[in-house]
Amino acid sequence: MHLTRDEERIFDGESGWANQICMKILVRLGELFNATRLIPIASAHVSGVSYKTLGDAPADFLEALANAGAKSNANSTLNPHSIDEGYIAKKLPADLCKKQSAILEFYQRMGLKHSLTCTPYYLEKFKSGSHLAWAESSAVVYANSVLEAYTNREGGPSSLAASIIGKTPDYGIHRAENRQPQVLVNVEARLRDETEFGALGILLGRVLADKIPIIQGLENASEGSLKQLSAALASTGMVNMFYRKNAVAKTAKLERLSVEAADIKQTVEDLTTTSTEKPDLVFVGCPHCSQDEMKQIADSVGSGKVKENMEIWVCTSRCVKAKAAKYVRQLEQSGIHVLTDTCPVVTWTDKLGIRTIMTNSAKTAHYAPTLNNAETVLAPSKDCVRAAIKG
Ligand code: F3S
């Protein structure tokens, strides 16, 4: 890999251990994938924030970096962690909250904003063609496919290294030649809601592995549905982007695949592991809700109230929560908990006594049986609201 003089100096340790180790992570990664240079990034989105998923050894590494004076050199955001200060923190053991707070402090000392959301694209607009180093898989697929930005699927360490150095190795889908579609997918079913778009993602992730598809039949997809598709696609496969109809001219030589209504129905059924009508938790907000979605949920709730002994969480970012204050007030008056900074998957729902989760997110329904030890019901947002709200 060719390094500039300044990059070489960092690599040789002239600007300290923290910068050196971060440069070494990026160079090693670049060499593995035959990158020839580092390129500047418009944003780094760093995962590895939740103590539940991170554990102690990586937290020690973050502390060592912070103690060594590591400082972010890029516009950087953080993925969700395991706690909402106003609600979940009060219900969890103090030692877990303390360890989580320490991780946030390490990031803060390194200059990373406490955005704590998996939808960094609602905080800031990125130009088409921007090079990013994002680690949240749902946001990676969304960024490449909907925002038309360029990012590989980074891990926690490589996204943090990119944030500290301000650059990423130029390989994978940063390069136009690696963004060519390989499969033409024809969705023959008319997908009716965000849950079915999520189911499509789960299904395609499994069969495509890492092949880039053009997906025909997404004409009626809302921004929220494309977000569900992106999140689910990344959950079951290594695909980092998709094209929509007409995005690419030549399709004659592509492998072909068709998806029928029965495939979608089967996938939704497979993601539902219990038939309970009274789940312990109803959850909307994976990936974190947009302002539009907050409005839609508020419209579905109307003047209704949460049923007795029912728990409903709507998860979003601090930024969207502030902008959607009117809807947040309405939801909170109904008894809904509007949480920021976290989600059920990255917190300890089992310690909160939650054994069944009803959600509109195919991604959550995919992960909850293993990461939350919970049974799942997958249904559109309006049905989730109906299950939890009376009146
Ligand atoms: Fe975000 Fe949690 Fe889903 S981090 S993408 S809401 S699993």
pLDDT of the chain along its 391 residues, tens only?
A: 999 999 999 999 999 999 999 999 999 999 999 999 999 999 999 999 999 999 999 999 999 999 999 999 999 999 999 999 999 999 999 999 999 999 999 999 999 989 999 999 999 999 999 999 999 999 999 999 999 999 999 999 999 999 999 999 999 999 999 999 999 999 999 999 999 999 999 999 999 989 999 999 998 899 999 999 999 999 999 999 999 976 555 677 899 999 999 999 999 999 999 999 899 999 999 999 999 999 999 999 999 999 999 999 999 999 999 999 999 999 999 999 999 999 999 999 999 999 999 999 999 999 999 999 999 999 999 999 999 998 6
The answer to whether the beta carbons of residues 188 and 258 sit under 8 Å apart is: yes
Nearest to 362 by CA among 160, 170, 202: 202
Supply 135's token pair: 């680690």
The answer to whether the beta carbons of residues 153 and 135 sit under 8 Å apart is: yes
Nearest to 321 by CA among 352, 295, 347, 302: 295
Residue of the nearest CA to atom 6 in ligand 1?
286
- From CA 159, how far away is CA 140, in angstroms rounded? 12
How many CA atoms does the CB half-sphere of 256 hold within 13 Å?
6
Nearest to 153 by CA among 47, 305, 300, 267: 47
β-partners of residue 134 are 45, 153
**Separation of CA 254 and ligand 1 centre (Å):** 32
**Separation of CA 343 and ligand 1 centre (Å):** 6
> Which helix H or strand E contains 376, and what residues bound it?
strand 375-378
Ligand 1 neighbourhood includes 49 CB (under 6 angstroms) = no
pTM over 0.75: yes
Ligand 1 neighbourhood includes 237 CB (under 6 angstroms) = no
- From CA 61, how far away is CA 229, in angstroms rounded? 34
Pocket test of ligand 1: the residue of 137, 153, 345, 361 to mutate, having most ligand atoms within 8 Å of its CB, is: 345
Pairing relation of β-strands 43-46 and 132-134? parallel
Ligand 1 neighbourhood includes 287 CB (under 6 angstroms) = yes
Three-state secondary structure readout of 266-322: HHHHHCCCCCCCCCCEEEEEEEEECHHHHHHHHHHHCCCEECCCCCEEEEECHHHHH
Alpha carbon of residue 339 to chain centroid? 16
Ligand 1 neighbourhood includes 201 CB (under 6 angstroms) = no
Nearest to 72 by CA among 6, 166, 156, 8: 166
346-377 as b/e: b if 16+ CB within 10 A: bbbbeebebbbbbbbbbbbbbbbeebbebbbb
Ligand 1 neighbourhood includes 231 CB (under 6 angstroms) = yes
DSSP code of residue 110: T
- From CA 268, how far away is CA 186, in angstroms rounded? 19
